[in-house]
Amino acid sequence: MLDINTKVITVVDCFISNESVLEKLDICLGNLNKFGNDILLVSNTIPPKFIIEKVNYFLYNKDNKLFIQDYDDVQLVDLWKGYGNIIIHEITEELQKHGLSVMCNLFNAIDLSKSLGYTHFQRVEVDDLYSNEGYKFMNSIPNLCKENNKKALFYFNETDISFHYMFSELDYFLHKIRRVTDEDTYRNYLRENGFGENFKPVELFMFHNLNSSDLSDVLIKNGKEDMNTDFPNTVWNSETSQSTLHGYFNGCTTKIYHVKDQEKFSVLSFNYNDNIINRKIVVKMEGDEEIIFQKLDYKGSWFYHLFNKPIKTILVYNADTDEFLYEQENKNIHSYLEFN
């Protein structure tokens, strides 16, 4: 059994960007309540009253800090989506703009939790849809750490840690992890630890902080194998944040795609907004030009055209206003479609 002086709070950090996220937040909080968790919701958005009534504490930070400076060596990430016989591989730079807000909010939440008399915290992601078995295991973690004489539990990958779930003594976390208050403090850490101007996501930042010192107080689990065993039937990453996209997309990517194993190209749009998006695209090919229209009725909708000729460039417009949005040349194109 836990020591009588041990008090655990569950930190839920959620930027309520659309109705889908709000619905998942509501479900998450309801499940945490069902399993008897004290909850601290931290957000850069103001939730409705019915959400506030499901938490013990709410910490609002109007300043949604994002990574905005220029970095080198930004890695690519595959925002893939599978639909029957087609897989959309949308390859984009992983600048992880929202990572700065995540770290700042976490430190603020830990400070508040300490002031309220809590000794430990666990952090969960709203868009991870846990099963009942997952929530039961979550509630067993404080005792699991106590039985193993550990102060924290983290899921380690080869070069980073998972943000899907973490558990730690508050003081241990503050002692081990460099406090992040703004982009300059984050960037200074990278420079001081040999990363130079290369961007590193917060998962690697945390990994490096922990790995730079003694880990004997940490219960280390495998991020790929143990997470699925510990949290069975959990759906991970059910939302894609618009903050991972460049601003000029306006929440809807229209891009050139290769077609895997075929001498074809595609122009595909994917809607990350809640509202209808209408796109006009001027497709320029060698000695030819075609104007196409793509209507995307809801979040998660997509539309594509296939071309047998190599595409030189596309000019993307708002079809409703005829406003020019951006141009993409057929250079360094990594995104592709896969047909099964």
With respect to residue 80, please indicate whether it lies within any of the assigned structural domains.
no
Residue 25 is predicted with a pLDDT of 97
With respect to residue 82, please indicate whether it lies within any of the assigned structural domains.
no
The helix/strand/coil state of 250 is: coil
* Residue 162 main-chain phi, psi, to 5 deg: -85, 140
With respect to residue 132, please indicate whether it lies within any of the assigned structural domains.
yes
| Domain match, 313 and 219 both | no
∠ CA(318), CA(241), CA(113), 5° rounding?
Answer: 145
Closest alpha carbon to 220 in 280, 142, 145: 145
Q: Are 85 and 339 in contact (CB under 8 A)?
A: yes
Handedness of CA 206, 211, 215, 221 (dihedral sign): positive
Q: What is the pLDDT along the chain (340 residues), one digit of tens a residue?
A: 556 678 999 999 999 988 889 999 999 999 999 999 999 999 999 999 999 999 999 999 998 888 888 888 777 777 778 787 898 988 877 667 888 999 999 999 999 999 999 999 999 999 888 999 999 999 999 999 999 999 999 999 888 899 999 999 999 999 999 999 999 999 999 999 999 998 888 989 999 999 998 999 999 999 878 988 999 988 877 776 665 677 789 889 999 999 999 999 999 999 988 889 999 999 999 889 999 999 999 888 999 999 999 999 999 999 999 999 999 999 989 999 999 8
Domain that holds residue 272: 245-339
| Domain match, 102 and 58 both | yes
Handedness of CA 103, 33, 156, 4 (dihedral sign): positive
With respect to residue 22, please indicate whether it lies within any of the assigned structural domains.
yes
Tell me the per-residue pLDDT of 282-303, one tens digit each, with 9 for 90 and over: 999 988 999 999 999 988 899 9
With respect to residue 237, please indicate whether it lies within any of the assigned structural domains.
no
Instruction: Tokens for 118, please give them.
Output: 């809590």
| Domain match, 33 and 135 both | yes
Q: Are 29 and 52 in contact (CB under 8 A)?
A: no
| Domain match, 68 and 141 both | yes
| Domain match, 113 and 207 both | yes
| Domain match, 306 and 178 both | no
The pTM assigned to this predicted structure is 0.75
| Domain match, 144 and 197 both | yes
Total tally of structural domains belonging to the chain: 2
Residue 193 is predicted with a pLDDT of 95
Separation of alpha carbons 230 and 155, rounded Å:
11
DSSP letter (8 states) at residue 74: P
CATH code for the domain in which residue 260 is found: 2.60.40
| Domain match, 23 and 151 both | yes
| Domain match, 202 and 269 both | no
| Domain match, 34 and 147 both | yes
∠ CA(62), CA(242), CA(55), 5° rounding?
Answer: 45
| Number of C-beta neighbours around residue 315 at 10 A | 16
Residue 72 is predicted with a pLDDT of 85
Tell me the per-residue pLDDT of 21-59, one tens digit each, with 9 for 90 and over: 999 999 999 999 999 999 999 999 999 999 999 999 999
Handedness of CA 247, 251, 257, 259 (dihedral sign): positive
Determine the distance from the C-alpha atom of residue 106 to the mean position of all C-alpha atoms in its chain, rounded to a whole number: 14
